[in-house]
């Protein structure tokens, strides 16, 4: 028995006792298992062309997009892959709060820095998972995400991890997600059960398809769990 690793895992779980990161708080729960299933589905969806960059967006605020992506990042890292989670929501960043980290430096800092400057990645406490927070918020986020410097940043991050995950604002509200969707390998659309309207989900898909984004799937967040199938709990 590796008591050091056991103790680290116990401390990590206790540290997220009140966190929405269910993959850390309760890794044996049906919700955590659903995120592992999502991880597996993504892996199988890209057998012919592996995904190295993946973007998540939603139709509207507060549909659980950031929490979904953060939990997915944790489960991928738990599968012994190197993961960089990037907060590209330069309007309402939230990933740093999920992991209890700072937002003083991050993506915007890296974009303005010299190419040889080390990326301001933060250790999340999850082995293999690093966070690039948003950094100071710019006046025109879409211009930043659509710039050549952003493309350079993406290519650099690709060399540092097995997969890079990008959190973006809702695709209907602003153009940020659509701009960045053209530069990544795949896009996940997150919708919330009982809240997301069908017309908005359809509109979000149309916007992404118009820029020829590779939509690899839709995540239904907040779906009711049927305890009859809870044998993983």
**What DSSP letter does each residue of 172-197 carry, written as one string?**
TT-SHHHHHHTTSSEEEEEEETTTS-
For residue 94, is it within any domain? yes
Domain span at residue 147 reads 3-224
For residue 229, is it within any domain? no
Residue 226 pLDDT > 80, yes or no? no
The CATH number of whichever domain residue 14 belongs to comes to 3.40.50.300
Q: What beta strand segments (E) does 7-145 contain?
A: 53-58, 83-87, 122-123, 129-132
Mean pLDDT of the chain: 87
For residue 191, is it within any domain? yes
For residue 186, is it within any domain? yes
Counting the structural domains of the chain, the total is: 1
Is residue 115 within 8 A of residue 152, CB to CB? The reply is: yes
Residue 189 pLDDT > 50, yes or no? yes
Residue 48 pLDDT > 80, yes or no? no
């Amino acid at each position: 028995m590796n008591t050091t690793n056991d103790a680290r895992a116990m401390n990590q779980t206790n540290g997220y006792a009140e966190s929405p990161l269910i993959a850390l708080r309760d890794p044996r729960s049906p919700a955590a298992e659903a995120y592992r299933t999502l991880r597996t589905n993504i892996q199988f969806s890209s057998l012919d062309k592996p995904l190295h960059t993946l973007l998540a967006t939603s139709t509207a605020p507060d549909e659980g997009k950031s929490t979904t992506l953060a939990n997915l990042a944790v489960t991928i890292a738990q599968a012994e892959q190197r993961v960089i989670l990037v907060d590209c929501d330069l309007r309402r960043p939230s990933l740093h709060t999920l992991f209890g980290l700072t937002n003083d430096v991050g993506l915007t800092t890296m974009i303005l820095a010299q190419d040889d400057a080390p990326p301001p990645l933060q250790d999340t406490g999850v082995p293999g998972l690093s966070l690039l927070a948003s950094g100071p918020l710019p006046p025109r986020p879409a211009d930043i995400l659509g710039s050549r410097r952003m493309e350079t940043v993406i290519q650099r991050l690709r060399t540092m991890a097995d997969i890079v995950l990008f959190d973006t604002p809702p695709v209907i509200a602003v153009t940020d997600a659509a701009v960045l969707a053209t530069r990544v390998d795949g896009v996940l659309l997150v919708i919330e059960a009982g809240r997301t309207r069908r017309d908005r989900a359809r509109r979000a898909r149309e916007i992404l398809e118009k820029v020829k984004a590779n939509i690899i799937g839709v995540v239904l967040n907040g779906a009711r769990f049927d305890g009859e199938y809870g044998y993983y709990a």
